[in-house]
Amino acid sequence: MSDEVKLISKLTEIPEEDYYVSGHRTCAGCGPALGYRLVLKAAGPNTIVLGPTGCMYVANGHQFLSSPYAVPWYHTQLGAGGPAGIGTAAALRALMFKGKRKREDVNVVVYGGDGGMSDIGLSGLSMGLTYDYPHLLYLIYDNESYANTGVQASSTTPFGASTTFTPSGKIKPIGNERLKKDMALIAAAHPSIGYVATASVSHPVDLVNKVRKALFSGRPSLVQLLTPCPKGWAFPPEETIELGQMAVKTGMWALWEYENGHFRITSKPTARKNIREYVTKQGRFSHLLRNEAALEYLQLSVDEQWRYWEEMDKMGKIILPWTPSYNRS
């Protein structure tokens, strides 16, 4: 079995082979679909994929007997991504131990949304991160809502976003009043976890390398992947990559990794842009443009978090970020 991880330095080094191909019915500009394609390019053909219920299940394989996967894939219940990943890894280990399957590195990738992994499946995911199975990656495609069932708010929906469960109106003009949960930091709190990182579909080289580092870390790992959603975020589908890039440039989404107990920012904006440039491109934030106090608070929270990100990067250690509460008066 090989323990060597092959990293890349430029786009042209991303493998040409696709293991997420035609046959899916995702929306135009779908961020999670773009993520699927890149993740499987990084993982390669010797991979088993598990898909908890969500956008990527409904749009990819539950009707018309079609499937876009060129590698083994199976559906798991909405909250079962964590134990299903462990069960698959355990089955492979047992078969190899008993000589019923040749010994080889088989990647197990659980590709689930923020609803299925950050909310409903959180307890099972947490359990899965405590085991010792190598080549097991839990990947959260974070489109910041329950997009499959009508764009309801999830625990990773950002402050101020309007969703069908947190609509902006006269009584609650802000929209979502909760702050976004940081799943990658939660994962990093698990003892002996192999690798933790955040990524974005707008930064493919960074994403491919992080997937490969995770799969070769020797233990279960987690990557939280920002996947802009034209339907849920209300922007033109041709702007998916631009929105991902803008999230990073404004600091709304920090790209970092936690490897062997060491924290590192992997893409630091030289001069962060004002978050207004990000929110103005999305219909889900349109009401904030009439609320300067809310915009100022969102900018303040980003600035405060980045003070911690930069301190963590300097020290190489994780410090729990603190964000000021929003004054609703």
Q: Find the helix or strand (DSSP H, E) in which 207 lies.
A: helix 204-215
| The pLDDT of residue 57 | 86
The stretch 289-311 carries a mean pLDDT of 94
Pairing of strands 221-226, 136-142: parallel
DSSP assignment of 125-149 equals: HHHHTTS--SSEEEEEEE-SSBGGG
* Phi, psi of 252, rounded to the nearest 5 degrees: -65, -25
What is the percent of the chain where pLDDT is above 90? 86
pLDDT tens-digit readout, 218-274: 999 999 999 999 999 999 999 999 999 999 999 999 999 999 999 999 999 989 999
Look at residues 209, 164, 158 and name the one whose alpha carbon lies nearest to residue 326: 158
Whether pLDDT at 60 is above 90: no
Alpha carbon distances (Å) from 110 to 215, 275, 280, 324: 12, 32, 33, 34
3-state secondary structure of 10: coil
Pairing of strands 73-76, 136-142: unpaired
DSSP assignment of 25-84 equals: -PPTT-HHHHHHHHHHHHH-SSEEEEEESSHHHHTTTSSTT---BSS-EEEE-TT-HHHH
> For residue 24, what pLDDT band results from cuts at 50, 70 and 90?
confident
Q: Determine the Cα angle at 215 with ends 214 and 219, to 5°.
A: 80
Residue-range domains of the chain with CATH: 15-315 (3.40.50.970)
Neighbours of 88 (CB within 10 A): 22
* Residue 281 CB partners (closer than 8 Å, separation 6+): 235, 239, 242, 243, 246
Task: Name the pTM for this structure.
Answer: 0.95
If DSSP states are collapsed to H, E and C, what string results for 215-259?
Answer: HCCCCCEEEEEECCCHHHHCCCHHHHHHHHHHHHHHCCCCEEEEE
